[in-house]
Structure 1
Amino acid sequence: MTATPTADLELLSVDDPSASPSTSVATGPRVRWAAIVWGLTFAAIAAGGFAVASSPAAMAWLIDAVADAELTTAIAACLFLVGGLVTIAGVAGLLRRAQRSLEGRRMHQSEPESTRQT
């Protein structure tokens, strides 16, 4: 008879909370900070694009600015764009790290379950 890979695993009852191997504090769903930060960023870019596209004067100024741009201006704009994207990614990472730190503090501040039977 061949042994299955899951033969040594024990089944836990869903009805019995004391059978759970984890004693961590139940937390809610995690906030997806990167999605929030990037979503707000793209919404701001879209709002700016809509503002420029809806105004004929702004559109004419943008066309003139792009047509008169020099190589150094284009390189500076690209570097500025890359720096902004890195900054946004950093902010999302800092928010995620703060969330993990807060979850860790909550878990360590909770009182351990009593093993005393009354």
Structure 2
Amino acid sequence: QSFRHLVEIHYRERWTIQQYAAALLVSHDRLHSICTRTLSKTPSQLVQERVIFEAKLRLERSGSSIQQLAHDLGFSDATTFSHYFKRYSGTTPAAFRRMIKKPHLVPADSLSFGHADWP
């Protein structure tokens, strides 16, 4: 729970897993062990899921430019954000935004989900 709380506070700052572990006063390996044992996901996966969740939510509900979203999510530029988003969601932010305007074309698992669903 403490890790998830820290992720919620610092994911926009793009903290490393080592920074999270240090803030929790545990080793990187211990944090990894706790997360994989209790949630079946690595700390990195949990942070990535939170960033992608927020990105999808903002792409769906905000009219902000991709550049502005990238900045708001702690990325150095829109290109870095686009590569990150594509790696973890399978599509670019611009393509995702176009898809959500045509709901019949969007796979249900690619839309954002409720905040309570975040692990």
TM-score bracket relative to the smaller structure: under 0.3
Q: Which structure would you say has the larger Rg?
A: 1
Q: TM-score, normalized by length of structure 1?
A: 0.26
Larger relative CO (CA 8 A, sep 6+): 1 or 2?
A: 1
Larger relative helix fraction: 2
